[in-house]
Amino acid sequence: MRKNNFPFFPNNFLWGGAQAASQADGAFKEDGKGLNSSDIQPYLQGLTNDELQSIESKGMTLKDVKKYSQDNKNYFPKRFGIDFYHTYKEDLQLLADAGFSTFRTSLDWSRIFPNGDDEKPNEKALRHYSDMIDCMVQLGIEPIITMNHYETPVNITLKYGGWPNKEVIPFFVKFGKVLLDWFGDRVKYWIVVNQINMVQLEPWLSVGVASDQYANQEQALYQAMHNQIVAAAEIKNYARSLNNPNIHIGTMVADGTVYPASSKPDDVILAMQQNRMQYFVTDVQFRGKYPQFALNYFNDKNIELDITQNELKLINENHMDFLAISYYYSRMVDSTKNKMQPADNLQNPNLKQSSWGWAIDPQGLYNTLSQYYDRYQKPIIIAENGLGAYDKLENDKKVHDPYRSEYLSMHIEQVGRAIHDGAEVIAYCAWGPIDIVSCSSQQMSKRYGFVYVDIDDNGQGSKKRYLKDSYFWYKQVIASNGKEI
C-alpha cells in the first residue's frame, strides 16, 4: 500500500466491481432461459490470444449462428460461467466482506424474455433476479444494473436480423419497462446498453448481427446503434412517467481514445476526428441531436440511416442522466498508416502491454474522465477497469497477484486526480471482481478478479473460490476511501 497523491474521493463514493450475467450466471438450461448471443460462442482450443480476439472482432456468419445454436459438441464457456446463478449469495457476501458499496451486473434479456419477442416475461427469472437484488441491498451493496450486456436472444437475430431492424425496438423497450416495474424501487442506477459504441469492434455481441447478414454491414451497424439510442430514450421516457426521482437512466461507452503519433498536424487532426466519432453517440444521448461531423461521416461513407423526426424529438426530450465508461487501454494513430475508420489505430510504443496486448496507460483514464466531463458535465460511473492476467493458484491455495494491485492502484490514483480537477465521478467498478469467463476470448485463464475461481479454460475444476492477495489490498483501499492505494 502507498499514499494516494490524489485522495479526493467524496465520502459517499461508491467502491465496487462489475460483471455480466452472460459471463457469470451459467445455468443456461434452467428456469426457461433462451440462448443469447454470448451463449453460442465456443472456446476454440489451441489458438493464440490474438487469434481468439480476432475471431471476435470478425463476428459470426449466419451459418455459424445456426450451427452453434444447435451444437452440443463444442464447449461454450458462457453457458456455464462461474455458476453465479446458484452461488450469488456466497459470492456477494465475499464482496460485502471486502467493503463493496456497489456492484454492477446485468439481468439477462434471454432469461426474462427467452425469445426476445415473447408476449409475457418469464416470472421464474424475475423472481430469481429479485432475490439477487434483495441480497445486494441487504448487504449494503448499491446495485448498478445493465439491461443488456451482450445478451440479445438468438431468436432476435434469426427472425428479425438483429438490432438493425426497428421491430426489435419495442421488444427491448417492453423488457426495459418490465425491469423498471419489478426493480425500480430498489435499483437507482440503470445502464441501458453495455458499451453502445462497440458495434464496430464487437458487432455480434453488441447488436446480434451476423457478419454476412447485410450487404452494407457498416450501415446496418450504425442503424443498430441508432435503434438502441431510440430504445434508451423510450425507456428514459417511461422512467420519467413513474415519478420516481431515485431512478437514473444512463448510457455506457467503451473508451477508445487515441493519441496522435506525433505533433504533425495530420496526426493531431486524425486523432481528433477518430475521437470525435467516438463521442458522437454520447453527443446524441446527452445533447439530443446528431452532430454535423457524424452526418458528414455517414454521407462520405454512403451510409443512409432510417431516422425519423419523431425519433429525434423523443431523443431530444429524453437525455441520459449519467455516463458509464469502461476503460482498459489507449491507442494511437499515424496519418501515414491509419485512416478515418473506427479501430484503425496502432499500439503506443511508449506504453507497456498486458499479456493480451492491451496497453497499460493509467493517465489515459485521467484524460478520458476529464474529456467526457468537460464535454457533458454529467455524473460518471467507471463501469469497468481492470487487468486480465494469468494467475497461479499455489499449493497453499493462495494467489499472489501484486501486478493487479499495482495496475489498479495507478488507475485509481488517476480517478482521484480527475475528481480533484472537477469531474463528478461517483463510482469505481473494478472489472470481474470474482473471476469470470472472458468476453473476448472465452477463456477462464484471462483472470481479472480479486477472487480466484477454480475453473480452467475447458470448464474443469472444483468451482471453489479463493481470495487473492489483491482482495485484501482492495479491502484496504475501500476502507481508506482511496487515501491508501
CA separation for the pair 98, 475 (Å, rounded): 5
Q: So what's the pLDDT on residue 72?
A: 84
* The pLDDT value given to residue 341: 87
Answer yes or no: is pLDDT of 49 > 80: no
pLDDT of residue 440: 83
Dihedral, 239, 244, 247, 249 alpha carbons, nearest 10: 30
Beta carbons of 311 and 232 less than 8 angstroms apart = no
pTM, two decimals, is 0.96
| Region of residue 27 (phi > 0: left; psi between -120 and 50: alpha; otherwise: beta) | left
Lowest-pLDDT choice from 246-250, 315-319, 342-346: 342-346
pLDDT at 231 over 90: yes
Grid coordinates representing 310 are 419523431
- The pLDDT of residue 47 is 67
CATH T-level assignment (fold) for domain 14-479 = TIM Barrel (3.20.20)
pLDDT for 55 equals: 65
Using alpha carbons, list the distances in angstroms from residue 452 to 24, 172, 437: 13, 34, 12
Exposure string for 16-46, b = 16+ CB within 10 A, e = fewer: bbbbbbbbbbbbbeeeebbbbbbbbbbbeee
Kindly report the average pLDDT of the chain as a whole number: 95
- At residue 51 the predicted structure's pLDDT band, cuts being 50, 70 and 90, is low
DSSP class of residue 30 equals: S
Q: How far apart are CA 354 and CA 177, in angstroms?
A: 40
Task: State how beta strands 102-106 and 142-148 pair.
Answer: parallel
DSSP β-bridge partners for residue 143: 103
Q: What is the mean pLDDT of residues 249-276?
A: 96
- The model's pLDDT over 172-208, given as tens digits with 9 standing for 90+, comes to 999 999 999 999 999 999 999 999 999 888 899 999 9
Q: Does residue 52 carry a pLDDT above 70?
A: no
Q: What is the pLDDT of residue 343?
A: 85
How far apart CA 312 and CA 453 sit, in angstroms, is: 46
Place of cell 477497469: 385
Instruction: Report helix angle 217-241 to 309-317, nearest 10.
Output: 50
> Looking at residue 56, what is its pLDDT?
62
The proportion of the chain whose per-residue pLDDT surpasses 90, expressed as a percent, equals: 92
pLDDT at 44: 81
Residue 228 has pLDDT above 80, yes or no: yes
Sign of the dihedral through C-alpha 209, 212, 215, 218 = positive
Return the pLDDT at 200.
81
Locate the domains of the chain by residue range.
14-479
What is the rounded end-to-end Cα distance, in angstroms, of the chain? 5
